[in-house]
Structure formats: structure tokens, C-alpha cells
Amino acid sequence: MIIPVKKRIQIFDTTLRDGEQAPGASLTPEQKIVLAKKLAALGVDVLEPGFPVSSPGDFAAVETISRLVHGVEICGFARAVKGDIDAAVRATRDAERRRIHLFISSSDIHLRHQLRKSRPEVVAAAREMTAYAKQFSDAVEFTAMDAARTGIDDLIEMVEAVIEEGATIINLPDTVGYALPQEYGEMFRRVRAGARGADRVAFSAHCHNDLGLAVANSLAAIGGGATQIEVTVNGVGERTGNCALEELVMALETRGDALNAKTGIALEQLYETSRMISGAMHFPIAYNKPVVGRNAFQHESGIHQDGLLKDRSNYEIMDPERLGIPRSMIVLGKHSGRHALKDRAAKYGIALEGQELDALYDAFKVAADRQKTVSDDELLRMVSSATGQGVQVYELGDVQVLAGSAPHRVAAVSVRHLSSGREASYTSTGSGPLEAVISAIAQGIAEEIAFAGLELHSLGSGEDAQAEAAVMVERGGRPFRGTAVHRDIVMAAGLAYIAACNSALLSSEEEENAAAAQ
């Protein structure tokens, strides 16, 4: 049996250009440089850092990225206009490998209502500007904007013209997210079969998500012969965004045998890259977003939790740890069962059976019916009550924060070390109250535990709304997570930080005890 060789799909990342065009997603040149380096480490093949002619800041960002970011092809974006192409050429002149990417509309709708030019005029401009760009770069990508709504004969005419002038990559975008997968894949097949010279160039797909079909259409394009897909991290972009890099990559990774395709993306970098883009653009990630969403690998249903604890493959088709996602797959809520509760307690080194487990389960159900989830902080208190012994290492006492218009906030906290009974107070400052509180608590944690991140979410609305905080810490290179719920966001963050530290310390104690028993 001959195993077919998987087609290598080039990943063209336009997060810093098309993604930044989303309202409110603007990035500073300095942010673009940091993110460009991260995208290169992620393993994208082509990076489009901006639109050089659009602003001095974008030009400077593309120019600096071209000089500093290595191991990836840098793409200069331009309209089919000499001034745009000149700016793209200048901005990318220091790149190890560069590409000039020019575009012009191809559909009757755009020609009639936006460009207000005849088709012969537009084809002539496409031909002339492709030839002009070819003087400066061997790699020239041509985009027929709104290709998915262009008549096939008209599209083939334009594609043939730019291939004759030296275009090496032909991008046929679904600019407004209108196409259906079968239509989009068929468009690629027909253009590749009908355009003279199509066998000499690569074909690319750029899909928008207006009907929620960007990833499906991109996969259909691969089936139609595309070897490059244009994506953004988290699917950011104009209107409803672009094909999401992480979703496309994991579709190819998970179903690569059926799709006969693969990428060169470093999967372990996906989660961290997603979080960096979300933070820099101030675009929160939907809880139910595939691959990187908060709920993507979390399970509350008791049936699912039981099946998952027996074998991950029962309810997960991807391994989150391969993507750099901390393993926190069990969410304790009112649908959770005894198996999940017992397993979570065991992660803290606490073995529960019989009456102790029943007592904990009864208390847990009362709390879970009252609120959406039961946090780690609250669970540890329940375990202490059910077993009659303290199981936490540290406990947060009083918290006071001084806020105001001054540049720094002041926080004073008390931290109790439960096994020794010692309690001490600590004071610190920060640019905000949360930073000040976390910094003060950290002084009371004797062990080497590094703060790694904080998420805050609102549970409900109105005067009785509560804040849910999730804090990530690292100890010995391993990530740990703690959660807490409180009506005060500062208290929620502080309690979650203590819970995360307890998780790290109790997990370490459990491992040490297990090793000693062997």
C-alpha cells in the first residue's frame, strides 16, 4: 500500500495587516514588532506586517520587521498603484526574503460601484502594475479582490493577464464571506484548469467569515488546488474576521489524512500566540471559540467528565497540552458528578472516600446550585470542612487597597501559613489595584512560584454581579491554575492567586510522596 505524501500548505499570516483593520484592533509599531517575532516563532511561512503606504507608523513597522524578523518571507501590501508599490518596495528592502502583494477588484459589483471603471481598464491596470512590481521582486502575489463574486470567464481573463506579466502567486479571495464551500473549491478548479500558465504559479485563498464559513471555504480551496491559505490569529479582521489560523491548522492536523495536507506550524506555540494577539488588540476570545476558547477543553457534564477521566479520547479529538494549553479540562458545576469531584481533590493530594466524599458532594451541590461554578478556592474550603483538617498551605486574610489618581496604588494584605499558624502582613504598590494586591501576596509566598497571567470575567449583571478570576502561575516549569469568585474583583484576583499557589504546592507534595513510596 502506497501512503500518499501530504501536500504542504503555506500559511500566510495577515494578522498585523488585515487583522488590524478590525475596528478597535489598532497596534503600535512597537507591538507589531513583538508580535511579528512571535508569529515567526509560530512557524508561519509568510508574514504581512502592514500596509506601508497607509501611514508613517505602518511603513516604519513593516520596515523594522523586515530588518529584524528572520526565517519568514515578508510581504509588502499594495493597491495596484505605483505609489503603493513603491512604498511596499522601500519598506521591505531589508527583508531576507520578500514578496510584493498587489490587489485590484475583479467583480462587476466592485467595478461598477467602487472603481467605476470598465473591465478592459481594470485588466490593463492589473497587467501594468504586476509588470511594474516584478522589477523589484521575483515573488509577486496578485489578488483579484472579490474573486468569489466574479464571473469565471472574467476571472480567468484577469488571472491570465497577470501571469503573463510575472505574477507567481494568484490569490482568489472571498472578500465578503459570500461563497459556499462547494462553490469556492470549484472556482479554484475552474481557474486552474482554464487559465493559461496556471500550472506555473501557486494559488492562494483568503476567506472572510461573514457566514461562518471562512475555515470551511479555505479547506475547500485546498481541495481545489490552493497551496497557500491566508489567515489571522483568532480570526480577527474586518467585520466578522478572517479564516482563523489556529482553527485551520488544527483541522489539517486532526484530519490531515482525509485532507491529505499539512502545515509547518509549531502547535505548542498556538495558545500563547492567541493570548498575545488577544491582549495586544484588546479583543477577548469567545468562551466557545474552537481550539483556544476557554471552554474548548473544559467539561462540566458529569457523563462527559466520567468518560474523559477514563480516557481522553472519549470526548476530546485534540490534546490541549500539545497546543500549549494548561490542562484544566474539568469544570466543577451543578452538572458535575462524584468522579470529577474526587479527581479534583486527588490533584491536591487529598484521597476522599465514603462519608467524607458524600459530605463534600452534598456541600458542593448546594454551592453549585447557587452559582455557576465552584472555584478552586471554595472547593479547598469545602474539603477542609468535609475532612475536618486544613488542606491549604496558604490562606488570604485581610486585604486593603488605596486607590486614587496617583500613578501607583497601594495594597496591604495579610497571608496565613496554615501549617505553622504564622500570619504576617505585607505592603506593595502597583500601577493598578490588582497588580498591587498580587505583588503584596507574592511577598508572603515563601516558595519560588512565578505569576503567569490573570483573567477576569463577570458572572451576571447588576448590583449582585460577581467577578470570577482565574490566575495562572508556574513552578518548576509547570503551569498551575487557580480560580475564585467574589463580588469584589480585587478579592477575586487575590483569592485565585492564593488558590493557584496552593495548587502548585499541593501537587508538588503529592508527587514527592508518590516518589518516596516507590
Q: Would you list the domain boundaries of the chain?
A: 13-73+231-283, 97-227, 302-387, 394-517
Q: What is the pLDDT of residues 197-250, one digit of tens each?
A: 999 999 999 999 999 999 999 999 999 999 999 999 999 999 999 999 999 999
Residues forming a β-bridge with 396: 415
* Cα–Cα distance for residue pair 352/62, rounded to 1 Å: 58
Question: Is the per-residue pLDDT at 329 higher than 60?
Answer: no
Instruction: Tell me: pLDDT of 382 over 90.
Output: no
From the list 440, 441, 443, the residue with the least C-alpha distance to 410 is 440
pLDDT digits (tens, 9 = 90+) for 173-192: 999 999 999 999 999 999 99
Which residue in this structure is represented by grid cell 509599531? 29
- At residue 390 the predicted structure's pLDDT band, cuts being 50, 70 and 90, is low
At residue 510, the pLDDT reads 54
pLDDT over 80 (residue 415) = yes
pLDDT digits (tens, 9 = 90+) for 259-308: 999 999 999 999 999 999 999 999 988 888 999 987 777 765 656 666 75
Q: What's the mean pLDDT when you consider all of the chain?
A: 89
Query: What pLDDT, in 10s, does the model give residues 64-79?
Result: 999 999 999 999 999 9
- Percent share of the chain, pLDDT over 90: 63
Instruction: Look at strands 169-171 and 140-145 and give their pairing.
Output: parallel
Q: pLDDT digits over 195-204, tens only?
A: 999 999 999 9
Q: Can you give the pLDDT at residue 239?
A: 95
Common-topology check for domains 13-73+231-283 and 394-517: no
Residue 320 banded pLDDT, cuts 50, 70, 90: confident
Task: Please report, as a single letter, which amino acid is at residue 500.
Answer: A
Provide the pLDDT for residue 497.
94
Closest CA to 321 of 285, 267, 253: 267
Confidence of residue 505 (pLDDT cuts 50, 70, 90): confident
Cell numbers given for 450: 512565578
- Across the range 97-123, mean pLDDT stands at 96
Q: Which neighbouring-strand residues pair with 361?
A: none
Task: Determine the Cα–Cα distance for residues 18 and 16; give it in Å rounded to an integer.
Answer: 6
Structure confidence at residue 358 (pLDDT): 82
pLDDT at res. 353: 82
Strands (E), 304-408: 394-402
CATH class entry, domain 394-517 = alpha beta
Average of per-residue pLDDT across 107-120: 95
- Which spans in 10-118 are helix H? 29-42, 56-68, 82-91, 108-110
Other C-beta atoms within 10 Å of 264: how many?
13
Q: Does pLDDT of 30 surpass 80?
A: yes
Question: Average pLDDT for residues 101-109, to the nearest whole number?
Answer: 97
DSSP β-bridge partners for residue 99: 75
Kindly compute the dihedral angle of the four CA atoms of residues 35, 41, 47, 50, in this order, to the nearest 10 degrees: 10
Confidence of residue 361 (pLDDT cuts 50, 70, 90): confident
- Largest Cα separation within the chain, whole Å, is 85
Whole-angstrom distance, CA of residue 501 vs CA of residue 450 = 9
When pLDDT is cut at 50, 70 and 90, the band that residue 315 belongs to is confident
Beta bridge partners of residue 171, listed in sequence order: 143, 204
pLDDT in tens, 139-175: 999 999 999 999 999 999 999 999 999 999 999 999 9
CATH for 13-73+231-283 is 3.20.20.70
What is the per-residue DSSP string for 232-262? BGGG-SSTT-B-BHHHHHHHHHHSHHHHTEE
Domain covering 97-227, topology:
TIM Barrel (3.20.20)
Beta bridge partners of 456: 469
* Residue in the structure block whose three cell numbers are 491549604: 392
Question: 143, 45, 137: which is closest to 99 by C-alpha?
Answer: 137
DSSP state of 94: T
